[in-house]
């Protein structure tokens, strides 16, 4: 085949003519879309930076809005008459909403709430996230004393009153006073160092105070003693929130002798307690005979029953069981009972009471236990009636005589 013959078909082919042309024109103008694509590909970092700035700005706006909302809610919560005061009013059983003012200091908060121009604070105690103020009003006439406590908490607006109260008690000139006291319970929904028992010492021989309480966390709790002026001392003891009757207070001298004591069931009780007749004697463990004698002096006869049923073994101690025969009681066939535990020490008695309260948590009662503590002795009165125990008054008097 000749060269002429092979080229003729190619020259007749239109595709061949297009291939011989230039691939593009040098002066061709790019489209706007192509320019935009090139610019986008050429500047990826700049676009990414703008997106980050926009994202950061958006989150900043959200954070600022959340902060502003939080501040508004916090302000509404804490202002006088706000949500916090509404909740306090419901917890305290107050109709309406009490408006608790804001103070610059703990003292200022109390003065504003109590509407007093001035107060005499004798001690400040930082406790439970706030401040407990001990205050003297000095308004008891004659030979008497007074003491008041006020608990305040710190808010972001300032100091705010939470709870308080006090007493004014006159002295019985016929008796030598050992100490005064007041008990304040804990209320559901109100925060603070409650329950608390506090008071003032009236006798310089007292060097220690121990407060006992029943309930699931029953035991003995040492009080803190503070000298607020020369020769003047106050005391206080905070109790667990589960504290329940009966309560007891024992005052001891530096030799360990119990110079005064008191038992009570009312969690709002207050009183003056005189020195015991045996003040200054070295404390000795109580004997079973002394307990029985003191109880029977209240015209209550205790009849030994030996072991009946399955009495609790408390801290390795088995109780002595007595039936109660009261004067004027005609039916003695179904008596009430007392169990008397004589422990080797007060510490052992406290452990025994705690164990007893743990056992009673889930118990189903046919008779109802009332507990009495004194020194190394625990007396449990099993009453048939929970509301009106027949021997309670006599046993209260007997244990207070010890």
Rounded Cα distance between 73 and 156, Å, is: 12
pLDDT band, very low/low/confident/very high, at 226 (cuts 50, 70, 90): very high
pLDDT band, very low/low/confident/very high, at 194 (cuts 50, 70, 90): very high
pLDDT, residue 82, reads 74
What's the CA dihedral at 261, 265, 266, 270 to 10 degrees? -10
Q: Which CATH architecture has domain 288-401?
A: 3-Layer(aba) Sandwich (3.40)
Residue-wise pLDDT for 127-158, tens only, equals 999 999 999 987 766 667 899 999 999 988 89
Cβ density class 308-333: b for 16+ within 10 Å, e for less: eeeeeebbebebbbbbbeeeeeeeee
Residue-wise pLDDT for 351-375, tens only, equals 888 888 888 877 777 888 999 988 8
HSE (side-chain half, CA atoms, 13 Å) at 331: 4
Return the top range by mean pLDDT from 33-42, 65-74, 348-357.
Answer: 348-357
pLDDT, residue 214, reads 86
pLDDT, residue 39, reads 64
Mean local confidence (pLDDT), 210-225: 89
pLDDT, residue 176, reads 86
Cβ-contact 353, 363 below 8 angstroms: no
Q: Per-residue pLDDT for 280 more than 50?
A: no
Cβ-contact 96, 85 below 8 angstroms: no
pLDDT band, very low/low/confident/very high, at 327 (cuts 50, 70, 90): low
pLDDT band, very low/low/confident/very high, at 7 (cuts 50, 70, 90): low
Residue-wise pLDDT for 155-187, tens only, equals 888 999 999 999 998 777 667 899 999 999 998
pLDDT, residue 183, reads 97
pLDDT band, very low/low/confident/very high, at 281 (cuts 50, 70, 90): very low
Angle at 196 between CA 155 and CA 218, to 5 degrees: 125
Considering only 91-105, 124-138, 318-332, 375-389, which range has the smallest mean pLDDT? 318-332
Considering only 46-50, 60-64, 138-142, 317-321, which range has the smallest mean pLDDT? 46-50
pLDDT, residue 381, reads 93
Rounded Cα distance between 44 and 191, Å, is: 59
pLDDT band, very low/low/confident/very high, at 328 (cuts 50, 70, 90): low
Q: Per-residue pLDDT for 47 more than 60?
A: no
Cβ-contact 194, 242 below 8 angstroms: no
Considering only 111-125, 278-292, 345-359, which range has the smallest mean pLDDT? 278-292
163 three-state secondary structure: strand
Mean local confidence (pLDDT), 265-282: 78
Kindly report whether the peptide bond that precedes residue 195 is cis, defined as omega within 30 degrees of 0. Answer: yes
Mean local confidence (pLDDT), 105-126: 93
pLDDT, residue 46, reads 53
Rounded Cα distance between 210 and 220, Å, is: 6
Please write down the HEC assignment for all residues of 247-267: EEEEEEECCCCEEEEEEECCC
pLDDT, residue 83, reads 72
């Amino acid at each position: 085949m000749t060269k002429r013959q092979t080229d003729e078909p190619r020259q007749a082919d239109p595709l061949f003519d297009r291939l011989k042309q230039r691939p593009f024109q040098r002066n061709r103008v790019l489209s706007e879309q192509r320019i935009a694509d090139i610019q986008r590909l050429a500047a990826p970092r700049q676009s990414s930076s703008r997106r980050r700035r926009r994202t950061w700005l958006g989150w900043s706006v959200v954070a600022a809005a959340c902060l502003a909302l939080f501040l508004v809610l916090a302000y509404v919560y804490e202002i006088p008459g706000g949500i916090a005061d509404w909740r306090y009013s419901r917890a305290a059983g107050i109709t309406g909403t009490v408006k608790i003012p804001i103070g610059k200091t703990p003292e200022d908060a109390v003065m504003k709430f109590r509407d007093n121009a001035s107060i005499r604070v004798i001690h400040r105690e930082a406790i439970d996230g706030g401040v407990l103020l001990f205050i003297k009003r000095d308004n008891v006439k004659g030979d008497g004393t007074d003491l008041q406590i006020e608990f305040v908490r710190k808010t972001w607006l300032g100091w705010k009153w939470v709870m308080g109260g006090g007493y004014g008690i006159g002295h019985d000139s016929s008796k030598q006073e050992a100490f005064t006291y007041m008990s304040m319970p804990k209320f559901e929904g109100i925060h603070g160092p409650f329950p608390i028992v506090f008071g003032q010492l009236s006798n310089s021989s007292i060097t220690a105070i121990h407060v006992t309480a029943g309930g699931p966390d029953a035991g003995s709790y040492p009080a803190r003693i503070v000298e607020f002026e020369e020769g003047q001392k106050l005391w206080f003891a905070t109790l667990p929130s589960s504290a329940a009757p009966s309560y007891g207070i024992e005052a001891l001298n530096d030799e360990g002798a119990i110079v005064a004591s008191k038992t009570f069931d009312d969690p709002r009780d207050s009183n003056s307690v005189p020195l015991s007749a045996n003040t200054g004697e070295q404390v000795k463990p109580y004997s079973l005979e002394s307990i029985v004698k003191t109880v029977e002096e209240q015209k209550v006869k205790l009849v030994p029953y030996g072991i009946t049923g399955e009495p609790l073994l408390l801290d390795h101690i088995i109780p002595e069981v007595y039936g109660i025969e009261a004067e004027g009681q005609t039916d003695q066939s179904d008596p009430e009972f007392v169990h008397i535990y004589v422990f080797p020490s007060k510490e052992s008695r406290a452990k025994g009471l705690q164990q007893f309260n743990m056992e009673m948590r889930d118990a189903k009662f046919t008779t109802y236990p009332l507990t009495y503590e004194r020194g190394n002795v625990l007396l449990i009165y099993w009453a048939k009636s929970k509301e009106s125990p027949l021997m309670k008054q006599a046993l209260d008097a007997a244990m207070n005589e010890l």
